[in-house]
Amino acid sequence: MDRAENYTVFIKNSIAFPYFGPEFVRNNLNANNEKQCDLKKEKITDKNIGCQIFRLGDIVSLAGGNFSK
């Protein structure tokens, strides 16, 4: 568990509104196999706010916790 702080979590989400037709489907995956976005705690900007890869340590610290405890 010493290095678990640097493990990453991939968060995938998808939503569909089939009543309105197949064009009303959204997800946070890259359609063209582009490089996945890796969010760094110190670099949160409007450009990377939709990132889907997070470090466990960053999740804990952004929630106000201390990972080493």
Check whether 42 has a pLDDT greater than 70: no
Query: For residue 61, with 0-12 CB atoms within 10 Å meaning exposed, 13-18 middle and 19 or more buried, which class applies?
Result: middle
Residue 19 clears pLDDT 80, i.e. is over it = yes
Which pLDDT score, from 0 to 100, does residue 33 have? 45
Arithmetic mean of pLDDT over the chain: 76
What was the pLDDT predicted at 16? 92
DSSP helix/strand/coil, 42: helix
What is the domain partition of the chain in residue ranges? 4-62
Band (pLDDT 50/70/90 cuts) for residue 18 is very high
* pLDDT at position 34 over 60: no
